[in-house]
Structure 1
Amino acid sequence: MVEQVILGMLMQGKMSGYDIKKTTEQTVGLYFTISYGSLYPALKRLVESAMVTEEETNNSKNKKLYELTEAGRQSFLSWLREPLQSNRREYLVKIFFYDYLDQDTRVRNLQLFMYEQSAVLSRIEAVERIVAQELTQIPNKDDYYYRMSVMHYGMQFYRMELNWLNQLIEKRDFE
């Protein structure tokens, strides 16, 4: 998945490793994280497999710029065309077995998880407000339709999840 995210970021144009990481954090970072420890080995593999080219710059930082090749573009688009898959959510498996835990531990863990999920929702909402403002300045908003729809999905998902977690804590019946 790291390679696909890198290829996707490079669809926008040449970037340094730092730029790829920063752009990832600012865009899909709420759903996918990338560390320098996984970024640079993945870039090396992509260069070796001719999906990406590497160019040394002569500026004061001597940074490398990476650019998507046609093979990399085709590989990325091929990956995008694959059917969507649902990721695994380990926390649901744990909650399934929460009947074996004492009430205090259940509530404490659920409240902590709610707090974490609420923080994620707040970050998504903040990003959405900024992006919505920026989109008022862009002539063709349709170019960002799917990116914005993922953000809206994230907000709906986290709101639903927070509601569900609250019901679990209060041990309310589900309608």
Structure 2
Amino acid sequence: MARENTCQFAILGMLCRKPMSGYGLRNAIERTVGHFWQESYGNLYPTLERMERAGLVALEREERSPGGRVRKVYRVTAEGRVALAEWLRRPVVPHVERNELLLKLFFGARVGPEDSLAHVARSRTEAEGLLLALRILDEKVRASSEGDAEMTYWHLSIRAGLLGLEAHLRWCDEAVTALQHLAHTKESKKKRPRNVH
């Protein structure tokens, strides 16, 4: 399924929780599922308009933001709830992850280990920050999940993120060790005196 179509289901799921504006949806997505799903404003607003024309969402009210801008607050319709339930029951469409770090490492021999080491170090720092944020979210969800079935589902997605980040950090350590060894070997070859006959 195309990403644009999947966007509408992310919107429907969020609107099942409560009515929201496009701005509110973007923030809710970022705060809850942002560790594995992202949506841009440029995609959210046109998708909301198409969904309104299709009868999946309806305008509930308009409100003014502190800056004076009018925000449209949408709610999910009965048709939207049916569409979301049908989508949730369909098999997941497999996809291949596009990972620029791995692509750069794959071709890293063209520039040497120093550049690759820098890429891995940046990725490790980012992963550590995400892991810290996800651990905080995990604590909040676990504290409020007592008897709340929805929180159990949320917790499963958070755990996948936590375990994935922990595995990524272990891989970063392995990559650094391998690349440092490669850099050391390269330096040793440069310094080795040539045999003079």
With normalisation by structure 1, the TM-score equals 0.84
Matched pairs, number: 169
Residues 19 and 60, structure 2, Cα contact 8 Å, conserved in 1: no
Letter in structure 1 aligned against 2:73 = L
CA distance in 1, matches of 2:40, 2:91: 27
Corresponding position: 1:163 with 2:181: no
Bigger Rg, structure 1 or 2:
2
Pairing of 1:1-175 with structure 2 (within 5 A): 1-57=6-62, 61=65, 63-84=71-92, 85-91=94-100, 92-135=102-145, 138=146, 140-171=147-178
Question: For the structure 1 residues 94 and 152, does the alpha-carbon distance in structure 2 shift closer, same or farther, using more than 3 Å as the test?
Answer: same
**Contact 2:29–2:39 under 8 Å retained in 1:** yes
1:165 positional shift: 1.4
Question: Is the CA contact (8 Å cut-off) linking 2:51 and 2:57 kept in structure 1?
Answer: yes
Runs of 4+ in 1 over 6 A off after TM superposition: none
Give the share of equivalent positions with the same residue, in percent: 26
Q: CA deviation at 1:16?
A: 2.3
Q: Deviations over 1:122-173 (max 9, x none)?
A: 11112112222333xx5x233321210110111111000110111011018x
Unaligned runs of 5+ in 2: 1-5, 180-197
RMSD: 2.2
Distance 2:109 2:132 in 1: 30
Normalising to structure 2: TM-score of the pair? 0.76
